[in-house]
Amino acid sequence: MTESKTAAGPASQYRELTVPGAWEFTPRQFGDDRGVFLEWFREPGFSEVTGRSLDLQQANCSVSAAGVLRGVHFADVPPGQAKYVTCVKGAVLDVAVDLRVGSPTFGQWDSVLLDDVDRRAIFLSEGLGHAFVSLEDDSTVVYLCSTSYAPEREHGVHPLDPDLAIDWPTVARDGSPLTLTLSDKDTVAPSLAAAIATGLLPTFGEG
């Protein structure tokens, strides 16, 4: 675990996930009887840890009912789309998937619980697949993107593909059973094998 320090002391803890190019950020929170303050993104700590900067081109907000599963999404590389993601209300399990053909960890995934308690964030480099499932109604996810949305460059792999074998949760935040809900687009997304066969996936080292 790497720590970034500010004049006020440790600001965030950084941990690289088992998927190279994906990082978990746990911010230091400052709370009192008025509420809480934290820095959910900060330079230069980010670039010191990841070895790169984040060129912000778009900021998104997504609100999801419990059980809504979004992804696995990725963009053509180059330019790709790096994402810095957090959950400001509710809770989601956020997943990074290595879709870079030729990567030593191709097809592997790792996850981070993003919620309004620990207020972690996850960073995903270009070429990684991104997905999350909402664990509570009205879970609100915000993310910073390195490129603007371009539908012709956006693709997906089916999140329930057994070749990925992502261990999606079956229980919501309140302990009730969780029923997964996919969009029409994600429901018809290709399998990992089909995406490989059609040359849809990015190549490791591109970009």
Q: Which of 14, 84, 130, 143 is catalytic?
A: 143
Longest dimension (CA), the chain: 57
Which residues, 6+ apart, have CB-to-CB distance to 176 below 8 Å? 66
Q: Which of 73, 130, 155, 158 is catalytic?
A: 73
Determine the residue type at 52: R
Q: Is 143 labeled as catalytic in the residue annotation?
A: yes
Q: Which tokens sit at 39?
A: 């820095």
Q: Is 158 labeled as catalytic in the residue annotation?
A: no
Q: Is 158 exposed, middle or buried (0-12, 13-18, 19+ CB in 10 A)?
A: buried
CB 73 within 8 A of CB 123: no
Count of CB atoms within 10 A of residue 142's CB?
17
The residues assigned a catalytic role are 73, 143
